[in-house]
Structure 1
Amino acid sequence: MKRTLAIIAFLLSLLPLALWADFSQELQGTDSLKVGTPFLFIINTDFSIKGVAIPDTLEDFAILESKREPKNPRCWKVKMAALKTGALSFPRIEIQPVDSSVTPVYTDGFRVYVLSVLAEGDTLLRDLKPLRKYPLQLPFWVYPLLLLIALALGIYLWLKKPPKPQREYAAPAPKTQPLLPAWEKALQTLEELIAEGLIAKGEVVLYHFRLSDILRSFLEETYFFPALEMTGREIAVALYQRNIPFAQEIRNFINYCDLVKFAKRVPSDTEIEENTLWLRNYLVSFAKAVQEPTNA
């Protein structure tokens, strides 16, 4: 019984050794390493790697990439670059397994040597070769001088430039329409009023307002008194004072229009036609009066 317990205790003491993980690491691209040159730190284990714990306090290295190999979960690659020259040390980092039963392990720290741009012991910065002068090359100060001379010459020519002759445009002669005599203008307005067909539309009052205004405008323009602003009685007085022909007929026409406009008289179609015809004949009579002296 004691022997059996001793064997079991021995096997249990070997169990941590069986769970202890194994790994390997290597560096690639560290030959002739310079500042900023990337190189790889590759970690291979016998378990699936969840990640590596890289400290945030690194000052000598810049971590460019840290990832697991897509086709091999037991391989992790860290891509980094040195930030300083000389011998640099990278610390141990923890390898975190996917399986929590596996004991985490740490990589071994390593050192790399980063070459300097200058040769060892050489601290003197040397300039490039002096500029080579070409044949007929002018001194540097000549070029700004030539630019100023060209600028001054351009300003001088611009100031001396003769003014551009201004093209004269002849204004077109205003088109003057021949002035119509008062009777012809009134007759034209009457024909337009008849063509509107206000009587057929039932606008009898509006028709007589405009019919009266045609005669009043003609009287005002021909005999020079404000007929448009006068009442029928005032127009009658002005007609007799000026001894205007057809005074009674004019007075009758204006009274007829006023009755339709203000007294709500409803004229017959015959009355409308007769009064409209009288106004047309009255206006046409002035055309005959103008033609008779010409024919004579």
Structure 2
Amino acid sequence: MKFKLYIFLFLFSTIVFAQQKQVETSIDTTKNKIGAEFKLTLKTVVSSNSKVVFPKLKNIGPLEVIQSYPIDTVKKNDTYELIKKYGLTQFDSGKYTIPSIKILIDKKPFLSDSIRIEVANVKVDTLQQKMYDIKDITAAEDGIGNWWKYVLALLIILAIGAGIYWYVKKHQKKKIEEEVYKTPIEKATSLLNNLEQKELVQKGEIKEYYSELTDIARNYIEEAIHIPAMESTTSELIQAIRTASTKKKMTLTPETVENLERVLRQADLVKFAKSKPLDFEITEDRNKIQKVILTLDNAIPTEVSTEEEDQLLNEAQRQKQIQLQLKKQRNKRITIAVGSVVFLLVATTAFFIVTKGFAYVKDNIIGHPSKELLEGEWVKSEYGNPGVIIETPKVLKRMDALKTLPKETMALIKEMQLFVYGSMIDNFYVAVSTTKFKNPTDIDLSKALEGSLKVIELQGGQNIIVKQEDFQTNQGIQGIKGYGTMTVLNPATKTSLKGYYEILLFKQDQGLQQIIIFHEEGDTYANDITTRILNSVELKKANN
């Protein structure tokens, strides 16, 4: 929605629409009680060949259509007079503007005139109406003392988090002590037993079973015989074992080495070729690995190293395992600490949602754009001529509106200035415009407001509800204020936004001053911004 076009149409809509008298507009009364019917009448005279389409409406501006009367046709010589009536009502007192209605005559649009009406309250006769005694005061619940419940809930959350951390830490420490073994054969035997307890074969996890089984064997060979078994292929490992048996004078039968090679190659097929051995084959492979490990352990000669070297080697292996487990423990502690913090954040957020509501958490933790504007550093500045002094959350940016005006319009305008922040599809929009005319001009502020609303309709504004009242600045300068709600279409996302608007209009000598504010309906922070802006409005006299 381009605000630049607003200026031209808003200033000259009165002239343009005054020329379109194809549709005559009238109403039976301009003042009625709440809920009473206003009868709006539209008349048009057309030729016998013309096609006229009156819209089917549920609402006309802020008024509800309670009755759409049939079209009356009156023949006059070679023409026809078509009369369409709408029954309108409003259930809220105040002054309203019935906006223009678009009628299609031979597919060409024509607009009816807008009409101002007033809805008055219904007076209650207190002399005839039965009166009742005032109801006794009901004692309110004492909210003092409930704070301890919130503190208690927070302490419970903290205690639960600390308990979880302490339990896991103690459990990990105990587990580490259990997993530190004195010798490689002790470790391999224990891990084989633990592997059977996992029941991976029963669960159908054959690949995982063979992977752990061969890792146990490779890890034992690496620790006991000092061969890089974990990093070697099957062929490299078998060749390394044969070489080590010769150098270290290990008594190994060909059957032992062949059994190890057969199980390792079976594991390779399972892991990389998706082979599925039978149950008895899996059992045999497990027994072969156990037998191979025991045979290798018995084949290692005691004279390979002295007793002191064995002790140093075992101690080095023990320290290596301890360091590895401590590293795992440190990582798990970090994970637990992060998890505990996340848990506490989630629990605290849930606590505030329950006690304060989701809106409070969303606005104060996640953030709200209008709230940031409201609480930011405001700027007070003067815009245009005649000058408008106004306080806004951000500095208004100057826009060049004169380039969009036709030459005939420029002939009437001496000076025009426009300053804007945001747009009609942003979370908050404010614009200030000032205009000076060359020749004396009788400016009708109500007509100017109607023209601005007509432009909004042409630019895509829908379901516009209009209320109008007098407005006075703190310096006593009189003007008018139009306000209400409308629906605006976002052309990029094709979604609709229901917003609230306020339009202030003032006239001074040959000058016109206008302020427009628009934001999403129901945004309480934007409501506070609007109030603060309107309370800050000051006007300066036009300079000749």
More strand by share: 2
Query: Larger RCO: Structure 1 or Structure 2 (Cα < 8 Å, ≥ 6 residues apart)?
Result: 2
Do the structures match in fold with TM over 0.5?
no
- TM-score under structure 1 normalisation? 0.36
- TM-score under structure 2 normalisation? 0.20
